[in-house]
Amino acid sequence: MKRFLIAALISSPLSLWSQTADAPAKPALPEVKLTEAQVANITTQLEQLEAAILKNRGSSLGAALAALQRAMNSETDARDLYLTCYKSVHFDRKDLKDSDFTDWKTKNAPRFKDPEFLMGLRLQCEYLVLSIQAMEAKEIASVIPNLQTFMLKELAAVEGTVKHTANGAVAVERKDTKSTKSGRPQRYIGSPQILDMLKKSIKGTEFAKAYLLDEYLKSKDWEYQPMDFNGIYRTVIFPYYRDKKPTELGAQWDNFTKLDFTLQEATTSESEYQLFYKERFPERQWEKSNDLYSNNINPVLALADMLKVVKENPTHPKAPEWLKSLRELVNLHTADKPTLSTTPDPTGATAPPAAAN
């Protein structure tokens, strides 16, 4: 009897496995036969629903777009829209009293007069406008010029805000801070307010929350952090130029490098920037040349530039990896294999700000 029980227990897992493995497939969907009249009726209703959805969606986005476009051109409008959106999200939707909002507004009044904060609001609104336009545009080409202008604008705003001490450290002077005994504004070391505002996703702004834009802004082909130059170029600009204007790709790499390195120079100490330049500039040059080679834009010159990067940076951590890649690429073009194109690259290189010695 015991032997029988033991045998049954030992065999039970196998039985369970067998049952699981042989589990029946999900039943097929029932066959539904519709008459021509039923098909026509349903199709008509679907078309009507689609038109209604698009109309409502257009109305919602249109209202948001109009308000944001006004706010991006005026500090007063930016502040007023911010307050309206903040009240809607944090007070009205939570059924709080208007007096609660008035108290909050009074306590935070100095902030709403801060030029840096107001500039940050305007730039947030402008990037939301660009994001909506990119989502609605048939071709991203119509958005890219304004996007590139916007990046220059926000870079200028940061450069105008961040200062450096005589020792090279980052010193941000805040005009709305409590004055010292001498009557001068306090100074502190750290990130400026506007930089913090622009490094965050615009989907988390009070504007986006109030207009429920998070439900619309879901494109994988767009960067939602206004000051993520790296993300903007790699997600939006480079793909477009590779596909539509490959001969201009090199110039776009130069624009990206100059923009990104200028931002780093403006927002880090001199010592930090020197380290960044020493490490990242060779990497950026390699990436550019490799991208041009991969897209057959004067690949001979691209290989020469890649070789130059290795020669000039033999102690770089990635030098062995670069050398290996170069050997593999050269071996692809031996005498009995296809030759490289020698089409000249019409773009000129623009170096980023050089690190101080």
What pLDDT tens digit does each residue of the chain (357 aa) get? 444 444 444 444 444 444 445 556 666 666 777 788 777 777 777 765 655 555 555 555 888 999 999 999 999 999 999 999 999 999 999 999 999 999 999 999 999 999 999 999 999 999 999 999 999 898 999 999 999 999 999 999 999 998 888 888 988 665 544 544 444 444 444 568 899 999 999 999 999 999 999 888 999 999 999 999 999 999 999 999 999 999 999 999 999 999 999 999 999 999 999 999 999 999 999 999 999 999 999 999 999 999 999 999 999 999 999 999 999 988 887 655 655 554 444 445 556 777 655
Integer Cα distance of 147 and 248 in angstroms: 17
Q: What is the pLDDT of residue 192?
A: 80
- 47, 39 in Cβ contact below 8 A? no
Select from 160, 133, 161, 158 the least CA-distant residue to 147.
Answer: 133
Q: Which stretches does DSSP call E strand in 129-225?
A: 162-164, 170-173, 187-188
Q: Which stretches does DSSP call E strand in the chain?
A: 162-164, 170-173, 187-188
With a CB cutoff of 8 Å and minimum separation 6, the contacts of 315 are: none
- 146, 130 in Cβ contact below 8 A? yes
Q: What is the pLDDT of residue 189?
A: 44
Q: What is the DSSP string of 323-356?
A: HHHHHHHHHTT-TTSPPPP---------PPPPPP
Q: What is the pLDDT of residue 9?
A: 40
Q: What is the pLDDT of residue 57?
A: 52
Q: What is the pLDDT of residue 125?
A: 98
pTM to 2 decimal places? 0.77
- 174, 113 in Cβ contact below 8 A? no
Q: What is the pLDDT of residue 185?
A: 46
Q: What is the pLDDT of residue 274?
A: 96
Residue range 194-249, pLDDT digits in tens? 999 999 999 999 999 999 998 889 999 999 999 999 999 999 999 999 999 999 99
Q: What is the pLDDT of residue 302?
A: 95
With the C-alpha atoms ordered 210, 212, 214, 216, is the resulting torsion angle positive or negative?
Answer: negative
With the C-alpha atoms ordered 170, 175, 176, 177, is the resulting torsion angle positive or negative?
Answer: positive
